[in-house]
Amino acid sequence: MASSWLGARRQSLHLLKTRGFLLLKLSAAVLAVLLFCEFLIYYLVIFRCSWPELKTPEGAPEPVLRAMFLADTHLLGAIRGHWLDKLRREWQMERAFQTALWLLQPEVVFILGDIFDEGKWSSPEAWADDVGRFWKVFRHPPHVQLRAVAGNHDIGFHYQMDTYRIKRFEKVFNPERLFSWKGINFVMINSVALEGDGCDICSRAEAELLEISHWLNCSREVGHPPTPCPVSEEPVCGGSAGSHGPLTPLWSRQHFPLYRKNDANCSGEDAAPPDEKYTPFKERYDVLSWEVSRKLLWWLRPRLILSGHTHSACEVQHRAGVLEVSVPSFSWRNRNNPSFIMGSITPMDYALAKCYLPCEDMVLTTYCVAAGCLMLIMLIPTRLVSAPFHFGQRVLRKFKTM
């Protein structure tokens, strides 16, 4: 009687130990999968990215500025954002951005509009909450500069925007239209205000661009002009605009792309889907109007234009050989394969490269495969899996003996 009781006790203890060990292995496997899919995968993917190289000029090499370009982060707000979707997307962007900062060490980060998803509707309280979450996701060390331009989701389309929304945005992000660093000049454009209908906000925006155009054209004159070129009175990072030599607008940054009919000529794995490529773009909604686009090219004569808004990648060659690069969305809510642009820039040259982030379907596939493997591990001790396996072996042996 005592021996049978001791045997039963040993058997129950052995079963308990086996189950505990199995639970420990399952917990370790779940933690490993979470660690890989939510943390390590960003390092493994972004580690493959590298800064594009520039041809070294003869003589003294020029300082190279390393810049990252993001677009359409669309941080969800209080109205349309489900808390789980918000938590997931912000975690993805935070891990991607922080990993890129650590691995790539950029000097300046540009965000090309639509930073927030509901800036055009946000109450003061909701706006303050969105801004706080933005700085948590896109926190950066003091030596890294972050600059942004407004998008239609930040201040509204032309018929929605007003001075209050613009000032609210500019209070968070520097309002300068001309940003200069290491002798490299960037023109930052509020493209939402370029409606071309003569409204007060639009008139002021065009006047600012005309003034910048005057400075730039003055600095391009051959020889010494009879009077010195005026220097920007707006705040310019890294010294005054005039202290960096000729004000050549290396890049123009804006949210809306310049006018193009559609994305039919765009290619690449992050271009628009085939069923959207031939959809005509609506002027002043999808792209800037043809008239405003011509004005910008004439006034600024930029060497390169970067824009966002479409959520897809595209390269367009405008007149006079001006290249425009549309940067895809940085948010997995808008794309399965987000990316950002890396630029190595000098006053006279530039080189661009694209860095892709982890594809969401790859992450989901990893989770599904891991879940299937864990289910098998859990079912094997219950003989639900082993019994059909042994039955199959017996059938196979009978078939061989026949």
Tens of pLDDT along 350-372? 999 999 999 999 999 998 998 88
The β-bridge partners of 187 are 178, 252
> Does residue 65 surpass a pLDDT of 50?
yes
Alpha-carbon span 44 to 96, nearest angstrom:
11
pLDDT band at 175 (very low <50, low <70, confident <90, very high): confident
- Tell me the two tokens of residue 396: 């196979």
pLDDT band at 386 (very low <50, low <70, confident <90, very high): low
Task: Encode 179-205: b = buried (16+ Cβ within 10 Å), e = exposed.
Answer: bbbbbbbbbbbbbbbbbbeeeebbeeb
pLDDT at res. 312 = 95
Q: How far, in Å, are 358, 388, 392 from residue 372 at the CA level? A: 22, 17, 21
The arithmetic mean of pLDDT across residues 91-96, rounded, is: 96
Lowest mean pLDDT among 38-42, 99-103, 137-141, 366-370: 366-370
* Strands laid side by side in the 350-356 sheet: 145-148, 108-111, 65-70, 339-345, 350-356
- Tell me the two tokens of residue 275: 């069923």
How do residues 233-255 score in pLDDT, each as one tens digit?
Answer: 443 344 433 344 444 555 788 99
Q: How much of the chain is helix, strand and coil, in % rounded to 5?
A: 45, 15, 40
pLDDT at res. 181 = 84
Alpha-carbon span 98 to 363, nearest angstrom:
19
pLDDT at res. 91 = 95
Pairing relationship of beta strands 249-253 and 304-307 according to DSSP bridges: parallel
Who contacts 307 (Cβ-Cβ below 8 Å, separation ≥6)? Answer: 71, 112, 191, 253, 254, 255, 256, 257, 258, 324, 325, 326, 327
In whole numbers, what is the pLDDT of the chain averaged over residues?
84
Alpha-carbon span 52 to 394, nearest angstrom:
61
- Tell me the range of 7-11, 243-247, 258-262 where mean pLDDT is highest: 258-262
How do residues 210-241 score in pLDDT, each as one tens digit?
Answer: 888 888 777 666 444 445 555 444 433 444 33
Question: Is the CB of residue 70 less than 8 Å from the CB of residue 338?
Answer: no
How do residues 125-148 score in pLDDT, each as one tens digit?
Answer: 999 999 999 999 999 999 999 999
Percentage of the residues of the chain whose pLDDT score is greater than 70? 80
pLDDT at res. 242 = 38
* DSSP label at residue 207: H
Alpha-carbon span 359 to 402, nearest angstrom:
51
Question: Is the CB of residue 256 less than 8 Å from the CB of residue 296?
Answer: no
Considering the four listed CATH numbers 3.40.50.150, 3.60.21.10, 3.30.465.10, 3.40.30.10, the one that applies to the domain covering 62-220+246-362 is 3.60.21.10
Alpha carbon 27 to chain centroid distance? 33
Alpha-carbon span 250 to 92, nearest angstrom:
32
3-state secondary structure of 71: coil
> Does residue 57 surpass a pLDDT of 80?
no
